[in-house]
Amino acid sequence: MKIAYWIVTGQKAALLVLSAVPDVLMVDGAVEMFTHLGYPKYLLPFIGVAKLLGVLVVVVPGLPRSLKEWAYAGLVIDLVGALYSHISVGDEAKFFVAPVLGLVLVFGSYALYRSVYMNAADATPEPSAA
């Protein structure tokens, strides 16, 4: 189960980092998509940094459970917002693939995190990296 957790979490992390870096750097394609969705471009680096921080919190062992759960929640909000935005502006279904895949990976990672690192009886968080 631990191997499955790290495989799914690694894939999720890669997908979100690959989407966050163009946001932070305000790459032309990211800016175009963001403005197409109706958002101001000044918000793009904020969203990118938030995604990077969320991924970092999820992959670093030993952080408090509550912090990890907030990070998972933030990533879900980002992905649901992206999906809703594409639907709202009438984008083709091909634009739904990345947010839906991201949601599947985030939910899979979270479910495996709970399964591997949380003791159901006492909700003990994962061990530290030390």
pLDDT in tens, 38-78: 999 999 999 999 999 999 999 999 999 999 999 999 999 99
Q: How far apart (Å, rounded) are the C-alpha atoms in residues 80 and 59?
A: 21
Convert 91-127 to b/e letters by CB count within 10 Å (16 or more is b).
eeeebeebbeebbebbbbbbebbeeebeeeeeeebbe
pLDDT by residue (tens digit) across 68-90? Answer: 999 999 999 999 999 999 999 99
Q: How far out from the chain centre does Cα 62 lie?
A: 19
What pTM was computed for the model? 0.87
- Minimal CA–CA distance to 86: which of 129, 30, 34? 34
